[in-house]
Structures are given as C-alpha cells and as structure tokens.
Structure 1
Amino acid sequence: MRLIRTQGRRARDAAAALAQLERRGGAALDAVLPAVQRIVKDVRRGGDRAMFRYAAKLDGLEDRARFRVTQEEMAQAWAATDAKLRDALSTAAILIRSFANGQMPRSGCVRATEGLAVGQVVRALDSVGCYVPSGRHPLPSTLLMTAIPAQVAGVGRIVAVSPKPAKETLAAAHLLGITEFYRVGGAHGVAALAYGTETLARVDKIVGPGNLYVTAAKRLVAFDCAIDMLAGPTEIVVTSERGDAAEIAADLVAQAEHDPEAVAIFVTTREELARRVMAEAKTQSKGNAVAKEALGRNGVAIVAGTVEEAREITNRLAPEHLTVDAAEDVEWVRSAGSVFVGGWSAQPLGDYISGPNHTLPTGGMARVRGGLSVNDFVKLITVQEYSAEGIAALGEKAALLGDAEGLTAHAAAIRMRVKKASRARRGRG
C-alpha cells in the first residue's frame, strides 16, 4: 500500500492520484474488446457450432452431453456437501430471500384528481441468465445472490451458467430448485444467453459478475439483451477515525484476495492510524499471493486534512463496498454500493449471508446506481384511466400543450374526448 497526504508539499500529486482513482475502471475492457467482438459475432452467427467450439477451447468442455447439468447431478452435489455447509447455504438463502421480499415493489392505484386514476402494475421479466464465475474460486454465493431475487420477482425462466461449476455451486442450484444450468461461460456464454443457440434459448436479461471478457461481452450485447451492470474488479473503502487497525486491514486484505486488480483504500485524517493499517495489511497478506499483489498495485491509504475532506473523498470515490465508524456516518454517504457500519460489520459478511446483494457497482458507478436487487427483475407498467369528469377537467389543458408543441393530432385526439364528455354531461343534464 502507498500513503497519500492531501495536504502539504505533495498536495498536487495527491490531487492527481485521487483523480486517477475516480477514473478507475473501463480502460481495461478496451484491451480485450477486439477478441470479445470476434467471439460474440461468431456465436451470434454460428449458434451451437461456434459456442461449443469456444467451450471446448476455453472451458475444456469436450463432451457435449455434459453441457446441460442434470437434476441428478445437482441433487448428488447437495447430498455430497457437508451438513454444516448445507446449513450455511440454507441460512444465507433465507436471509437473501427475506431482504429481496422487502424490496419488492407493489402494484397499486391512486386517484390523482377527480376523474383520473393512475397507478402501476408490477410484472416480472420472462427470463434471465445468471452468470456464476468459476475461475479462481467457486462462488455458490453468486448463484444465491442472482437467482433468489429473480425467484422473488416471479421470473418464469431462470438459467444458470458457469463454465466449470464447483460442487458447492451445483449444491446451491439444487437448494434453489434451479432446473436449467449449463456448463458454459466467458464471452461465448454471454453471447449464447443474449442471442440464443439451437441448444440454449436466449434470455431477456443477463446478470452476475465475471472477468474482463465476460464484462466486455455484456457491454457488447447490452443493446440486444438487457444487463444488470458492468461490474469490474472488487473495491473496498474504509473511512474511519477510530477503527481497529487490525480489523480494518483484515477487511482490506479480504476484498483484495478476490483479484490482483482489486482496489483497497483506507481514508482517515490520522496518519498514525493509516500507517498501522498499512503495516497490518502487509503482515496479514504475506501468505495470500493475490491479496499481496492487489495491495501492491492498488492499495492506498489516504490521509485527509479534515474529517469533512475525508468524507468528500469517499463520496468522490463512490466505492463498491464502504465501511464507516457509526450509524450516524451513513447520513453523509451519497455514493456507495453497500455500507457496513462499525467494527463488528466485517465486509465479507455482506458477500455471503447478510441479505443485501453482493453484486454491486464498481468503477465509480455507485454514483448512479445501487447493487443488484429484485427491482432488476421486474418491469413497472404505469396505468391511467380517465372518466368523463377527468377529461372535462384536464383535457383542454393537455390539448393546449399539444398545440404548443405543434402536434396537432395529439390535440385533436384529446379534444375529441372533451367534446364527447361535454355531450355526455349535457345528456345527463
């Protein structure tokens, strides 16, 4: 980790470093984009033939008969999973489902004014594809986090894909009752989900994190198939004035072990605390090669001049994960994917069992959106109903707006109803 002071002789260098941190993400996708474009184009045109060619080359799938995971395989994986882990998966699923249920928007109607009722109906997407990475680590938690909100939303068809699904991931699929699971991944898996092949029918939306190739493919297909977000390497910011150095470092190391490109940042006004956190992070990451590399590349301790500046820097960074000292600190947080409050709230708890989703915006995108939620799996369809009284009260005003915009047919369609309402009212008179 490196130390940055925002005040003093190196203030200009600090400002440049902070600006670079704000612009993180996105550039790395450009490097893989040409290769990803070829893959996506091939699968879109060639269907199964192209998809299986890439699956054999990149995923090691030699036997097409193993492409679709059977219900028996998922059941066997569940049976072979340690009872304590089955209990942990079940507990996580319960808490994730409970949180998603609380997020679910409601259908409803209100009377806006006399003669006008307006409202919304909530409809689930027809189909979604849940991408579960299976590279450096098995990630059954990602299947829970992507599939459960879709189930709560009422999505009719939920497809899971993972190039080399671990036993734990297959066990999680059995727990959730997933019926459609394919051994495919990478850019070719994303393309297959987006455009469909002879074997894998297309979906309406693709959700879930992945490597650079997966993320670049999601960006390419986004105009043809909805996606959740372009999630890059994981990020953690801890902003603290009184936290425990060992605990802060433990969270930094924990998120850093996800990826050599992970970003780990500590923000404080206390240089002594910053140096203790840096020393602890160095010690704790000694036996963890990935975390050590990530902290060396992207580990930063920022010493701000004031608490207000520390808070402003934090919001500028708009981190995926953020830890703060106390509940009152949440009041100043404007941009973050998920906030962890106090020393007891270890960030990895949110990766697994708390309930809120761990699929979160990275690269500063927390400035404009939150994490994956049940809202990503539904459509809100607005509804409006006028009566004769409503048209009489509002019709001419709306028609005048049509006149002002030069849209004469708009105005005419409205005035036709205004006249009809007037006749109806005279008839009643």
Structure 2
Amino acid sequence: MKLIQTTGRGARKAGDTIAALERRGGTSLDGVLPAVRRIVADVRRDGDHALLRYAKKLDGLVDADELRIGQDEMAAAWEACDAEMRAALTTAAGQIRGFAERQMPQSWKNTSIAGLTTGQLVRPLEAVGCYVPSGRHPLPSTLLMTAIPAQVAGVTRIVAVSAKPARETLAAAHLLGITEFYRVGGAHAIASLAYGTESIARVDKIVGPGNLYVTAAKREVAFDCAIDMLAGPTEILVTSEHGTAVEIASDLVAQAEHDPEALAVFITTRKALAKDVIAETKVRTRTNTVAREALKRNGVVIVAASLEEARGLTNRIAPEHLTVDSVEDLAWVRNAGSVFVGRWSAQPMGDYISGPNHTLPTGGQARVRGGLSVNDFVKLITVQEYDGDAIRELGPKAVLLAEAEGLTAHAEAVRVRLKNVSRGRKTNG
C-alpha cells in the first residue's frame, strides 16, 4: 500500500491520487466488448444452439441434458452438507429475509383535498434472473442475497444461473426452494436471460455480480432487459482514528482477496497508525497472493490534515464498503454502499450473515444509489381518482398549465369534465 499525505511536499501528488480515485468508474470494459457483443448477438439470434456451444466451450458443459439442474441434485447437495453448514445457510437466509421484509415498501392511499384520492400500488416483477459467480470463489452467499429479496417482493419466477455451482450454492438453492437453475455462466448466460432461448425463457431483470464479461454483457442488454447495476471490483474504505492496526488491516486484506483489481483505502489523521496498518497488511498478505497484488496495485493510505478533511475525502470517494469508528460518524456519511460501525463490525460479516445485501454499488455509484434491495424487485404504480368536487377545484388550474404548454387537447380533456360536472351529469370512459 502506498502512503500519501494531503499536506507538505506530497500534497500535489496526494491531490492527483485522490482525484483519480474520485473519477474512477466501473471497470473498463472496452477490451472485452467486441467478444461480448458477438456472444450476445449469437445467443439472441440462434438461441440454444449458440448458448450450448458457448457453454460447452467456456463452461465445460458436457451434455445439453445437464444444462438445467434438477431439484434432486439440489436436494442431494443439501444432504451432503454437514449440519453446521446447513445451520449457517439457514441462519444467513433468515437474517437476509428479515432485513428484506423490513425494507418492503407498502401500498397506500391519501386524500389531499375532498374528492381526490391518490396513492401507490406495490407490484412485484414477474421474472428475474440471479447471476451467481462460480469462478475463483464460488459464492453461495450471492444466491441468498439475490433470490431472497426477490422472494420477499413476491416475484413468481426466479431463475438462477451459475457455470459451475459449488455444492453449497446448490444447497442454498434447495433451502430457498429455487426450481429453475441452469449450469451456465458468462456473457452467454446473461444473453439467454435477457432474450430467452428454447431452454431458458427471458426474464424482466438480471441481478448479481460477475466478471468483466458478465458486466459488459449486462451493459449490452440493458436497453432490452433491466439490470441492477454494473458491478466492478470490490472496494473497501476504512476511516478511523481509534481503530487498531490489526483489525483495520484484516478488513483491508479480506476485501482485497476478492480480486487483484480490488480497491482498498485507509484514511486517518494519525500518521503512526497509517504506518502500522501498512506494516500489518504486509504481514497478512505473505501467503495471500491475490490480496497482496490488489494492495500493491490499488492500496492507498491517506493521512488527512483534519477530521473534516478525512470525512470529506471519504464522501468524495463514495466507497462500496465503509468502516467508521462509532455510530456518531453516521451523521457525516453521505456516500457509501454499506457502513460498518465500530471495531467489532468486521466487513465480512456483511458479506454473509448480517442481513443487509452484499450486492453493492462500486466505481463511485454510491453517490447515486444504494445496494441491491427488495425495492429492485417491485414496481410502484401510482393511482389517482377524482370525483366531481375535486375536478371542479383542480381542473381549472390544470387547464391553465396545459395551455401554457401549448397542449390544447390536454386542456380540452379537462374542460369536457368541467362542463359535464357543472351540468350535474356523470360520464363514463
């Protein structure tokens, strides 16, 4: 990790580094886009023929009959897990479900003036696809984090895809009662979910993280099928004055081991603590080559001139994961995917079992959105109902606004009602 200070001789270099962090976007997809576009186009045009060809070539699928994973295989995976693993999956699912239930928006109606009722209806999406990575680190937790909020929202068709699902991922699918699970990954899986094939019917929305090819494919299909977000490499930022070097470093290393491109940042006003954290990360990455590479490439320790500056830098960077010292710090946090408060709140707890979703915005997207939630799986449909008294009161004002915009038919549609209500007549249609 490199150490920079916002004051003194290194201030200009620090400014450049911080500006680069602030400007980072999602992972650059340019290098893989030509291949991804070809794969997406092939699957869209040729359906199963292209899907199976890519699945055999890229995923190692041996037989087309193995594409869809049967419920017997999922049940066998559950039985093959020991009692402790089944208990861990069950506990995590319960925590995630409880959190999603508390997030669930509600239908409501309101009367702002006599005779006018407005409100909203909450309706679930009909079909969603959950992408579950199975590369360097198979992630059964991602299936829990994507499928459970969809279930809470009331989505009737939930499709899981994963090229080489781990036994624990299949066990999680059994626990959740997933009935559609396909042994396919990469850009071709995303294309099949977005456009449909003979074997996989299209979905309304695709959620879940993936590699460069998956992310590029999600961007490619986004105008035809909704997506959650474009997820880049994992990010961690710790802003601390009172933490211990061992605990801070352990979280930095934990997130860095996801990907050599992971971003790890520590901000403090205490130079001695900054140096201790750097030393501790070196110790903790001796046998962790991925984390060591990530910290070498993208590890930054910033010594700020003041608490105010440290807090401002944190919000400018807008990290995916943020750790702060105490609950009082929440008052200044403006931009973060998920916040971990205090020394006992190890960031990996949020990856697995706390309850809040671990599918979070990266690349600075935390400036404009939060993590995946039950809200990603519902639609809010607004409703309005007038009676004669309400149209008499608000109609003339609507006519004025319509005329100001030059929309004469808009104005006339209201005038018709005003004329009829003034005559005491009721109309239909």
Same fold (TM over 0.5): yes
- Cα distance in 1 for residues equivalent to 2:215 and 2:238: 26
Counterparts of 1:49 and 1:365 in 2: how far apart (Å)?
Answer: 37
Which residue number in structure 1 is paired with residue 35 of structure 2? 35
Query: Deviations 1:280-335 (Å, cap 9, x if unpaired)?
Result: 01101111111111111111100111110000000000000000000010110000
Could you tell which deviates more after superposition, 397-406 or 416-425?
416-425
Q: How many Å apart are 1:27 and its aligned residue?
A: 5.1
Separation in 1, partners of 2:260, 2:59: 22
CA distance 1:65–1:425, shift in 2 (3 Å):
closer
Deviations 1:365-394 (A, max 9, x none): 000000000000000000000000000000
Name the counterpart of 1:190: 190
| Counterpart contact for 2:218–2:227, Cα < 8 Å | yes
Secondary structure of 1:261's counterpart equals: coil
Q: For 1:66 and 1:425, how far apart are their aligned partners in 2?
A: 66
Partner of residue 222, structure 1: 222
How far apart are the structure 1 equivalents of 2:412 and 2:287?
Answer: 75
Distance (whole Å) between structure 1 residues aligned to residue 273 and residue 425 of structure 2: 77
Q: Which runs of 4+ in 1 moved over 6 A?
A: none
Q: Which amino acid aligns with 2:305?
A: G
User: Which secondary structure does the structure 1 equivalent of 2:421 belong to?
Assistant: helix
Aligned counterparts of 1:25 and 1:261: Cα–Cα separation in 2: 13
Q: Secondary structure at the match of 2:120?
A: strand
Deviations 1:117-167 (A, max 9, x none): 100000000000000000011211000000000000000100000000010
Q: Verify the 8 A CA contact 2:26 2:362 in the aligned structure 1.
A: no
Q: Which residue of 2 aligns with 1:68?
A: 68
Work out the CA distance in 2 between the residues paired with 1:177 and 1:416: 54
* Alignment RMSD (CA, Å): 0.9
Letter in 2 for 1:261: E
Where does 1:13-32 land on structure 2 (aligned, <5 Å)?
13-26=13-26, 28-32=28-32
Asked whether 1:375 is paired with 2:375, we answer yes
Distance in 2, Cα, partners of 1:320 & 1:344: 19
* Structure 1 Cα separation of the partners of residues 285 and 362 of structure 2: 23
Q: Which runs of 5+ in 2 are unaligned?
A: none
Query: Is 1:133 matched with 2:133?
Result: yes
Residues 239-248 or 19-28, more deviating: 19-28
Residues of 1 paired with 2:16 and 2:266: CA distance? 17
Which range is displaced more, 372-381 or 31-40? 31-40
Separation in 1, partners of 2:100, 2:27: 33
AA at the equivalent of 1:207: V
Deviations 1:100-125 (A, max 9, x none): 00000000100011111100000000
Alignment partner, residue 159 of structure 2 = 159
User: Shift of the alpha carbon at 1:423?
Assistant: 1.2
Question: Within 5 A, what are the aligned runs for 1:263-282?
Answer: 263-282=263-282
Matches within 5 A, 1:47-196: 47-196=47-196
Q: 2:317 corresponds to which residue?
A: 317
Output aligned runs, 1:200-279, within 5 Å.
200-279=200-279
Mapped to 2, the partners of 1:48 and 1:185 lie a distance apart of 14
- Residue 25 of structure 1: how far off its partner (Å): 3.2
How much does 1:212 deviate?
A: 0.5
Matched pairs, number: 426
Q: How far apart, in 2, do the equivalents of 1:416 and 1:322 lie?
A: 57
Offset, 1:26: 3.1
Q: Which one-letter code corresponds to 1:209 in the other structure?
A: P
Match of 1:399 in 2: 399
SS at match of 1:35: helix
Shift of the alpha carbon at 1:177?
0.2
1:296 and 1:57 mapped to 2: Cα distance? 34
Shift of the alpha carbon at 1:420?
1.3
Q: Is the 2:243–2:325 contact (alpha carbons within 8 Å) kept by the matching residues of 1? A: yes
How far, CA to CA, are the matches of 2:319 and 2:75 in structure 1?
38
Shift of 1:235: 0.2
Alignment partner, residue 332 of structure 1: 332
**Share of identical aligned residues, percent?**
72
Cα deviation digits, residues 202-250 of structure 1 (max 9, x gap) = 0000000000100000001000000000011000000001101100000
